[in-house]
Amino acid sequence: MKEYRIKPRESDLSFLRELDEEQRKAVVESKGRCIVIAGPGSGKTRVITYKIAYLLACGIDPSRIMLVTFTRAAAREMVERAKAVTGKELSNMLAGTFHHVSNYFLRKYAPYVGLERNYSILDREDAESLMRHARSKFLEKKNKEERRNFPQPSVLMSIYSYMKNTLKSLRESIIVKNPKFLDHKEEIAEIFELYEQEKRSQNVVDYEDLLFYAYRLFEEHEEIRKREAERFLWILVDEFQDTNYVQYRMIEQLSSKHGNILAVGDDAQSIYSFRGARYENVEDFIKTPDTKIFKIQTNYRSTENIVKFINAMLPSRSVPKELKPVKKDGMKPVVVKTWDRYEEARFVSQRILELFEEGFKPEEIAVLYRSHSHSLELQMELARSKIDYRVLSGPRFTESAHVKDILAFLRIVQNPRDKSAWLRAAKLFYGIGDRTASKIADLASAYVEEELDPFNELRKVNFSGEYTKFVDILNHLKQLDQPGEMIEHVLSTFYAEYLEARYPDYREREMDIERLIEIASRYRNLEEFLTDLAVTEDVEIQRDVFQREGKITLTTVHQAKGLEWRVVFVVSVNPGDFPNYFAIVEGNLDEEERIFYVAITRAKEHLYISYQIAGTSYPYRGNRFIMRSGENFIDRIPPDLVEVWEVR
């Protein structure tokens, strides 16, 4: 049946007046296969938001649009804005991160890839723990010397993740991630197989599986691919430059019927190759016949002098673009020459104090660096100067021990075969150690296989310690529907007392659990709550975020992507530090150029780029004077576009 669409009236499209000419063109004229190259600060979020609004105005049902982003926050913001613009309900539009979207399809079609629909999702720590278990099982057969030289679980996990995200062979993945272990390829393959077996037996998946299984689902089951591709008239993709090969293939699979894709991104800001991201995806997408290219190049973020500097530092291998500033004039970027890191730290601290006197607020200032270690001298100097700061990196809220403890109970209720959840929860109770916890987990799994209620059956078994208390809590949780109520029950009957007995900061940890209850109370469904926590890449529930005001920000460039500040310091721009030593040695500077580009594009009004002529905290070692050598970003800076300060 052919669809006949009513053209929207002019009044229905009044929202388009809020866009500039480039943005409006990208929204209205994008049909078929399209890519929007969005320069930094050019309003790419508006393009996707208004594209959704435009499609709705053209009569397309929200259920036939799919929006894929890299953070939940981005997806939520775009959907909420589109709702505000159109006044339409968008609850049946599929929108979220790649992991969220993949999970949606896997819950729907789990048996087709060998999963049960109530599978659990392992976080990074649990996945590594399971890899450690598979490694230990394999190494039982090896002698002491062989065990000593074997890659650690974190290294194995890195190779495994890269292999799954890129669809490369194990050999290729080892060469990229850690070539010294190439001789262990066969043994690593055996460990990966043991790891896969463990996941299947426990009905659990890791983050890589979510993407890989969804890709496999569409690749191996043509009828499912056709059904879902028929449903989605439009696929909208944010931050396209950060997609890996599996994600790219999924987009192609789901657009195979109607061919309508709007990919938005900037290849010059692709900085996640260590996760398997391919900025080449932009090149490959553009090379495909009949692809339309739109460029949005009006910069609303930075002043004219900073924009001129950004244009001059465009990475050599990227789609040509020239940003046009809206904000005129402004201070030129400053290149600051210091002796060593201690002097650099003193400069940054003193300049920040001066900026405070000029009326800048702490939260409007950030210091960016290539590696976290570059901030150590600075942190000490800021403390001496009594300047409060926050470090943007750190463990996720859901990866802290006390939150993981609580979630283990809920994971057991949702998927009784989740062995890692049983082990974690059981060992919290007095008198239950590794062996007993393992027996309990094995029994639970066996009862599920026999189609018996594991919680009921475990009541009939006797183990020492507080086993009865543990089983009673689980049986009570099973009767509850609301995840918030479940957490509250665990906290009040057992865990609050457990925290107080073990942690000096138990009050703060208890407050975290109460925050978790608050979040959980928004959900009516346990599976949805656990899934959202597992696949979110949002930082909204991290404790640090609630302490943003009154502190300057210290962060790696990778953590700073997508953020902006009135004042930005980029420190330690020395050969070997930034660009990275290994990139110089390997002659692979493409990504370092893009990381530097991301750093300088975060600044709105003031930009300071500092380097050290000694390049090290210890310029004298023995009788030798140590100088940095190799590729230097400072040498690339056109002198007429910056001021140069020398610290004395």
What are the structure tokens assigned to 223, written together?
């009828």
The DSSP-derived string for 136-168 is: HHHHTTS-HHHHHTSPPHHHHHHHHHHHHHHT-
For residue 486, give every residue at least 6 positions away whose Cβ sits within 8 Å of its Cβ, in sequence order, or none.
Answer: 409, 410, 413, 477, 480, 520, 526
Which residues contact residue 587 at a Cβ distance below 8 angstroms, ignoring those fewer than 6 apart? none
How many beta carbons lie within 10 A of that of residue 152, not counting itself? 12
How far is 441 from 419, CA to CA, in rounded Å? 5
Give the separation between CA 50 and CA 55, rounded to whole angstroms. 8
Task: For 374-397, give the secondary structure using H, E and C.
Answer: HHHHHHHHHHHCCCCEEECCCCCH
478 CB neighbour count, 10 Å cutoff: 15
Distances (CA, A) of 46 to 323, 592, 620: 17, 28, 52
**Quick check: helix, strand or coil at residue 205?**
strand
pLDDT in the model for residue 342: 86
Give the number of C-alpha atoms closer than 13 A to the C-alpha of residue 227, restricted to the C-beta side: 9
Q: How many residues does the chain have?
A: 648
Q: Yes or no: say if 120 and 415 are a contact pair by the CB < 8 Å rule.
A: yes
Check if the beta carbon of residue 74 is closer than 8 Å to that of residue 44: no
**The predicted structure's pLDDT at residue 122:** 92
Buried/exposed code over 169-183 (b: 16+ C-beta within 10 A; e: otherwise):
ebeebbebbbeebee
Locus of tokens 């939260």: 363
- Reference 128, options 154, 147, 151; nearest CA is 154
Three-state SS across 564-590? CEEEEEECCCCCECCCEHHHHHCCCCH
DSSP string, 48-88: HHHHHHHHHHTT--GGGEEEEESSHHHHHHHHHHHHHHH--
Q: What are φ and ψ of residue 523, in 5° steps? A: -110, 140
Tell me the three-class secondary structure of 499-545, residue by residue: HHHHCCCHHHHHHHHHHHHHHHCCCCCHHHHHHHHHHCCCCCCCHHH
What pLDDT shows up at residue 547? 43
> Nearest 5°: CA angle at 589, between 585 and 591?
130
pTM given for the model:
0.82
Give 75's Cβ-side CA count (13 Å radius). 24
CA angle 151, 154, 157 (to 5 degrees): 95
Which pLDDT score, from 0 to 100, does residue 72 have?
A: 82
Give per-residue burial for 560-575: e unless 16+ CB within 10 Å, then b: bbeebbebbbbbbbbb
pLDDT the model gives residue 83? 85
Q: Are 455 and 475 in contact (CB under 8 A)?
A: yes
| 171, 243, 351, 354, 648 from 348: Cα distances, Å | 45, 35, 5, 10, 13
Give the C-alpha separation, 419 to 203, whole Å: 9
CA distance 346 to 240: 39
CB burial class (10 A; 0-12, 13-18, 19+) of residue 194? Answer: middle
pLDDT reported for residue 545 = 42
Find the radius of gyration of the CA atoms of the chain: 27
pLDDT of res. 396: 64
Q: Within 13 Å and on the Cβ side, how many CA atoms surround 555? A: 23
Q: List per-block mean pLDDT (blocks of 10 residues) for the chain, which spans 648 residues.
A: 60 80 94 94 91 91 92 85 85 91 95 94 90 89 72 89 93 89 92 95 94 96 96 95 94 95 94 85 93 95 97 93 93 95 93 96 95 80 89 70 93 94 94 90 92 92 91 94 93 91 79 83 87 63 49 92 94 90 81 95 97 61 44 92 94
